[in-house]
Amino acid sequence: MAKAGLNISDPKVLIGLSVFFVLIGGMVIDPLAGLTCLALAGILALIVSLRGTRRLRYVAFLLLIIIVTLAVSKFPEAGHHLKVYKSKTVTGDIK
């Protein structure tokens, strides 16, 4: 019997994981978690753009453009969220 499972080194699997992280990053409520998911998606897409076939490289570059656009749009909100979190941590108001 053939062993079932995902081959992590396969660029198609990495593109799928990258798309998954983009979707999670767009849906999550916490802006810092969304930014982290987008960063992970960007790293995976970058790996595919370096190791994939020509067609997958085009998909990875398109995905990188989408990821960078979403990350830039989420960055101010994440910065504000972090500033509020730090102020609550200093005052001891976190529950």
- Domain presence at residue 50: yes
What are the C-alpha distances in Å from 90 to residues 25, 76, 81, 95? 28, 21, 14, 13
Say what the pTM is: 0.82
- Domain presence at residue 5: no
How would residue 45 be classed by pLDDT, with cut points 50, 70 and 90?
very high
Q: Average pLDDT for residues 21-39, to the nearest whole number?
A: 92
- Domain presence at residue 6: no
The mean-pLDDT minimum among 1-5, 6-10, 46-50, 57-61 falls in 1-5
- Domain presence at residue 3: no
- Domain presence at residue 4: no
- Domain presence at residue 34: yes
Residue 2: predicted pLDDT: 54
Q: Which domain holds residue 32?
A: 11-91
- Domain presence at residue 45: yes
- Domain presence at residue 2: no
* The pair of three-digit structure tokens given for residue 55, joined into one six-digit string: 């067609």
* The pair of three-digit structure tokens given for residue 16, joined into one six-digit string: 């799928």
More confident residue, 79 or 95: 79
Number of other CB atoms surrounding residue 93 within 10 Å? 8
* Residue 77 CB contacts under 8 Å (≥ 6 apart), including other chains: 31
Counted domains in the chain: 1
Give the dihedral sign, CA 72/76/81/83.
positive
